[in-house]
């Protein structure tokens, strides 16, 4: 995140624990038996460190915590009553105790910079969804509504949209994909001009990565191939991979998407 980024803040996600799923799988007719769990753990022999007793005891301690929360009931030392929705209730219980918020980046670009952008933006996705019910009538919600109206007018002036008699707006087909490719073409041409190298998108290449350029809706990996230059639209995998300069990278562009191999890998290539 950076100053000006648009983010969404919500409660922590409810995720079930592996131990809860294991308890639910082993339970029979709503009854979990630690002794049966221990037999299975010893038979399978896949417990880390080989400590089957400690492994099952950890599950029992989890049940003790959930018993205090009223989710399960202890019948005796070897029987626990498990509800049908045990895993869901247990994950909801954990989420309620988690004080951390879940933060998701909606757009790294400032709101004002998206209005006249040539690439695909968060505002464009909002325009195409047509749903503004979650926007407040004041504050930042009002700023977003104003920005959406200006972005809509920008598309009309650029020929990417037309106003309809009923007051609606019809957008060009595959608008987001077209905007992404438009921005990539512009940035790629600028990069090529700055380094006196040709811009060659959409081809099969294999060489060393030089730089990564972050756009509004994509990444461009700059690759120097012998005496030529290649700039290729990178997908989500490349966005997650923070590689140093001159990392070995293989990219294949096909049908508008890119598959990536990062770093040295063994095996056949085609």
Indicate if the pLDDT at residue 251 is higher than 80: no
Domain limit, last residue, from 136, 158, 173: 173
Q: Do residues 183 and 118 lie in contact, with contact meaning Cβ atoms separated by under 8 Å?
A: yes
Instruction: Note the pLDDT tens digit of each residue in 224-246.
Output: 554 444 444 444 434 444 444 44
Q: Are residues 186 and 164 in the same domain?
A: no
Instruction: Note the pLDDT tens digit of each residue in 8-67.
Output: 888 777 778 999 999 999 999 999 999 999 999 999 888 878 899 999 999 999 999 999
Residue-range definition of the domain harbouring residue 156: 108-173
Q: Are residues 187 and 160 in the same domain?
A: no
Domain limit, last residue, from 173, 193, 218: 173
Q: Which long-range contacts (CB under 8 A, 24 or more apart) does 97-105 make?
A: 98/11, 98/12, 100/12, 101/9, 101/10, 101/11, 101/12, 102/9, 102/10, 102/11, 102/12, 102/13, 103/1, 103/7, 103/8, 103/9, 104/7, 104/8, 104/10, 105/1, 105/5, 105/6, 105/7
Which range (88-102, 123-137, 138-152) has the least confidence?
Answer: 88-102
In a domain, 242, yes or no: yes
In a domain, 2, yes or no: no
pTM over 0.85: no
Q: Specify the DSSP element, H or E, that contains 44.
A: helix 34-44
> How many domains does the chain divide into?
3
In a domain, 13, yes or no: no
Instruction: Note the pLDDT tens digit of each residue in 115-128.
Output: 999 999 999 999 99
In a domain, 129, yes or no: yes
Q: Are residues 36 and 76 in the same domain?
A: yes
Q: Are residues 75 and 56 in the same domain?
A: yes
In a domain, 135, yes or no: yes
Q: Are residues 58 and 90 in the same domain?
A: yes
Query: Please, what's the largest Cα pairwise distance for the chain?
Result: 79
Domain limit, last residue, from 40, 71, 97: 97
Q: Are residues 163 and 183 in the same domain?
A: no
């Amino acid at each position: 995140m950076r100053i000006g980024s648009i983010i969404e803040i919500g409660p922590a996600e409810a995720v079930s624990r592996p131990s809860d799923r294991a308890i639910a799988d082993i339970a029979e007719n709503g009854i979990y038996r630690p002794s049966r769990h221990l037999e299975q753990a010893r038979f399978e022999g896949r417990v880390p460190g080989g400590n089957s007793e400690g492994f099952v005891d950890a599950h029992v301690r989890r049940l003790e915590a959930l018993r205090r929360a009223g989710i399960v009931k202890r019948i005796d030392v070897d029987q626990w009553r498990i509800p049908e929705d045990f895993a869901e209730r247990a994950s909801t219980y954990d989420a309620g105790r988690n004080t951390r918020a879940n933060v998701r980046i909606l757009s790294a670009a400032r709101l004002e910079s998206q209005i006249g952008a040539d690439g695909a933006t968060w505002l464009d996705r909002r325009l195409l969804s047509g749903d503004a019910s979650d926007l407040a009538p004041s504050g930042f919600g009002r700023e977003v509504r104003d920005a959406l109206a200006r972005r809509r007018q920008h598309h009309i002036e650029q020929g990417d949209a037309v106003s309809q008699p009923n007051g609606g707006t019809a957008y060009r087909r595959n608008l987001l994909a077209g905007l992404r490719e438009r921005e990539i073409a512009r940035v790629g041409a600028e990069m090529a001009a700055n380094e006196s190298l040709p811009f060659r998108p959409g081809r099969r290449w294999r060489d060393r990565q030089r730089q990564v350029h972050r756009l509004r809706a994509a990444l461009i990996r700059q690759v120097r191939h012998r005496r030529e230059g290649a700039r290729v639209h990178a997908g989500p995998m490349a966005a997650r991979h923070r590689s140093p300069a001159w990392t070995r990278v293989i990219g294949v562009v096909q049908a508008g998407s890119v598959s990536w191999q990062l770093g040295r890998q063994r095996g056949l290539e085609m």
